Amino acid sequence: IKSVGSEGNGEAQFNSPRGLDVSDRNSNVYVCVSSNNRVQILTQEFKFHSTLGIDLFRYPHDVKVTRDRVLVLDDSDPYRDYNIIMSDYNNHCVYVFNQEGEQIHKFGKEGQGIGEFYCPWGIALDNTGHIIVVCDKNTNCLQFF
Protein backbone atom coordinates (compact mmCIF):
# COMPACT_ATOMS: atom_id res chain seq x y z
CA ILE A 1 0.00 0.00 0.00
CA LYS A 2 1.29 3.43 -0.94
CA SER A 3 0.02 6.96 -0.39
CA VAL A 4 0.95 9.77 -2.77
CA GLY A 5 0.45 13.52 -2.52
CA SER A 6 -0.79 15.92 0.11
CA GLU A 7 -3.25 18.79 0.41
CA GLY A 8 -2.20 21.90 -1.47
CA ASN A 9 -1.80 23.65 -4.80
CA GLY A 10 1.68 22.53 -5.85
CA GLU A 11 3.06 19.62 -7.83
CA ALA A 12 1.59 16.30 -6.64
CA GLN A 13 -0.65 18.18 -4.20
CA PHE A 14 -4.40 17.79 -4.37
CA ASN A 15 -7.50 19.61 -3.11
CA SER A 16 -10.55 17.38 -3.60
CA PRO A 17 -9.25 14.75 -6.03
CA ARG A 18 -12.37 13.33 -7.71
CA GLY A 19 -11.58 11.10 -10.66
CA LEU A 20 -8.59 9.33 -12.10
CA ASP A 21 -7.53 7.07 -14.90
CA VAL A 22 -4.38 5.31 -16.06
CA SER A 23 -3.04 5.54 -19.61
CA ASP A 24 -2.59 2.22 -21.41
CA ARG A 25 0.15 3.90 -23.40
CA ASN A 26 2.64 4.75 -20.66
CA SER A 27 0.91 3.98 -17.34
CA ASN A 28 0.78 7.67 -16.41
CA VAL A 29 -1.88 8.44 -13.81
CA TYR A 30 -4.32 11.28 -14.60
CA VAL A 31 -5.86 12.80 -11.46
CA CYS A 32 -8.84 15.15 -11.75
CA VAL A 33 -8.46 17.67 -8.91
CA SER A 34 -11.73 19.55 -8.47
CA SER A 35 -10.79 22.32 -6.05
CA ASN A 36 -7.51 22.99 -7.89
CA ASN A 37 -9.41 23.18 -11.22
CA ARG A 38 -6.93 21.00 -13.07
CA VAL A 39 -5.78 17.53 -14.03
CA GLN A 40 -2.39 16.48 -12.74
CA ILE A 41 -0.43 13.84 -14.58
CA LEU A 42 1.84 11.58 -12.55
CA THR A 43 4.34 9.06 -13.90
CA GLN A 44 3.89 5.37 -13.24
CA GLU A 45 6.29 5.91 -10.31
CA PHE A 46 3.79 8.53 -8.99
CA LYS A 47 6.14 11.45 -9.60
CA PHE A 48 4.76 14.75 -10.93
CA HIS A 49 4.82 14.93 -14.74
CA SER A 50 2.59 17.85 -15.84
CA THR A 51 -0.71 19.68 -15.42
CA LEU A 52 -3.72 20.17 -17.73
CA GLY A 53 -6.45 22.76 -17.63
CA ILE A 54 -5.06 25.62 -15.56
CA ASP A 55 -7.38 28.62 -16.10
CA LEU A 56 -9.71 26.43 -18.18
CA PHE A 57 -11.70 24.19 -15.83
CA ARG A 58 -14.11 25.06 -13.08
CA TYR A 59 -14.44 22.24 -10.57
CA PRO A 60 -13.83 19.29 -12.91
CA HIS A 61 -14.97 15.88 -11.69
CA ASP A 62 -13.67 13.09 -13.88
CA VAL A 63 -11.06 12.22 -16.47
CA LYS A 64 -10.63 9.24 -18.82
CA VAL A 65 -7.80 8.39 -21.14
CA THR A 66 -8.83 6.59 -24.32
CA ARG A 67 -7.84 5.93 -27.88
CA ASP A 68 -9.35 8.14 -30.57
CA ARG A 69 -10.93 5.97 -33.22
CA VAL A 70 -9.62 8.02 -36.17
CA LEU A 71 -7.42 5.72 -38.23
CA VAL A 72 -4.22 7.17 -39.70
CA LEU A 73 -2.92 4.61 -42.15
CA ASP A 74 0.56 6.06 -42.65
CA ASP A 75 1.33 6.55 -38.94
CA SER A 76 3.65 3.92 -37.50
CA ASP A 77 3.09 4.98 -33.87
CA PRO A 78 0.28 2.78 -32.50
CA TYR A 79 -0.27 5.11 -29.53
CA ARG A 80 -0.62 8.32 -31.52
CA ASP A 81 -4.41 8.35 -31.13
CA TYR A 82 -4.71 8.31 -27.33
CA ASN A 83 -6.75 11.18 -25.91
CA ILE A 84 -7.85 12.44 -22.51
CA ILE A 85 -11.57 12.98 -21.92
CA MET A 86 -12.82 15.02 -18.97
CA SER A 87 -16.21 16.21 -17.76
CA ASP A 88 -16.40 19.75 -16.34
CA TYR A 89 -19.16 20.11 -13.75
CA ASN A 90 -19.44 23.91 -13.57
CA ASN A 91 -18.85 24.63 -17.27
CA HIS A 92 -21.46 21.99 -18.22
CA CYS A 93 -19.34 20.39 -20.94
CA VAL A 94 -16.88 17.64 -21.83
CA TYR A 95 -13.35 18.37 -23.05
CA VAL A 96 -11.10 16.16 -25.20
CA PHE A 97 -7.33 16.71 -25.08
CA ASN A 98 -4.47 15.07 -26.93
CA GLN A 99 -1.54 13.54 -25.03
CA GLU A 100 0.31 16.87 -25.12
CA GLY A 101 -2.53 18.51 -23.20
CA GLU A 102 -3.87 20.53 -26.13
CA GLN A 103 -7.66 20.85 -26.32
CA ILE A 104 -8.86 19.21 -29.53
CA HIS A 105 -12.61 19.11 -28.91
CA LYS A 106 -15.29 20.37 -26.55
CA PHE A 107 -18.93 19.34 -26.54
CA GLY A 108 -22.02 20.14 -24.56
CA LYS A 109 -23.36 23.33 -23.06
CA GLU A 110 -25.62 24.23 -20.17
CA GLY A 111 -29.15 22.98 -20.70
CA GLN A 112 -31.45 20.03 -20.33
CA GLY A 113 -31.82 18.90 -23.94
CA ILE A 114 -30.01 16.22 -25.89
CA GLY A 115 -26.31 17.07 -26.04
CA GLU A 116 -26.68 19.61 -23.24
CA PHE A 117 -25.61 19.16 -19.63
CA TYR A 118 -26.49 20.52 -16.27
CA CYS A 119 -23.56 19.49 -14.07
CA PRO A 120 -22.03 16.47 -15.84
CA TRP A 121 -20.54 14.37 -13.06
CA GLY A 122 -18.85 11.36 -14.63
CA ILE A 123 -17.89 9.79 -17.92
CA ALA A 124 -17.23 6.27 -19.12
CA LEU A 125 -16.29 4.57 -22.37
CA ASP A 126 -17.11 1.23 -23.87
CA ASN A 127 -14.25 -1.22 -24.21
CA THR A 128 -13.52 -0.09 -27.77
CA GLY A 129 -13.43 3.62 -26.95
CA HIS A 130 -16.31 4.32 -29.33
CA ILE A 131 -19.12 5.35 -26.99
CA ILE A 132 -18.80 8.08 -24.38
CA VAL A 133 -21.40 7.95 -21.61
CA VAL A 134 -21.92 11.15 -19.63
CA CYS A 135 -23.66 10.97 -16.27
CA ASP A 136 -25.54 14.24 -15.71
CA LYS A 137 -26.11 14.84 -12.01
CA ASN A 138 -28.84 17.48 -12.05
CA THR A 139 -30.94 16.16 -14.94
CA ASN A 140 -30.73 12.62 -13.54
CA CYS A 141 -29.91 11.05 -16.89
CA LEU A 142 -27.20 9.38 -18.93
CA GLN A 143 -26.30 10.59 -22.41
CA PHE A 144 -24.54 8.39 -24.97
CA PHE A 145 -22.29 9.76 -27.73
Question: Within 10 A of 117 (CB to CB), how many other CB atoms are there?
Answer: 28
Decide: pTM greater than 0.75.
no
**1: in domain:** no
3-state secondary structure 48-94: EEEEECCCCCCCEEEEEEEECCCCCCCCCCCCCCEEEEEEECCCCEE
**112: in domain:** yes
Q: Above 90 in pLDDT, residue 64?
A: no
Q: Above 60 in pLDDT, residue 78?
A: no
Question: Within 10 A of 60 (CB to CB), how many other CB atoms are there?
Answer: 27
CB 119 within 8 A of CB 89: yes
Q: Above 60 in pLDDT, residue 72?
A: no
Domain that holds residue 23: 17-69+81-144
Task: Look at residue 52 in the predicted model and tell me its pLDDT.
Answer: 84
Phi, psi angle pair for 16, to nearest 5°:
65, 60
In the predicted model, what is the mean pLDDT of residues 68-92?
54
**74: in domain:** no
**23: in domain:** yes
**8: in domain:** no
Cα separation, 20 vs 38, in Å, equals 12
**11: in domain:** no
**4: in domain:** no
CATH code of the domain containing 53: 2.120.10.30
**62: in domain:** yes
Task: Look at residue 31 in the predicted model and tell me its pLDDT.
Answer: 85
Task: Look at residue 133 in the predicted model and tell me its pLDDT.
Answer: 66
> What total number of domains does the chain contain?
1
Nearest to 85 by CA among 59, 111, 112, 104: 104
| 52 Cβ neighbours under 8 A, 6+ residues apart | 38, 39, 40, 41, 84, 86, 97, 101
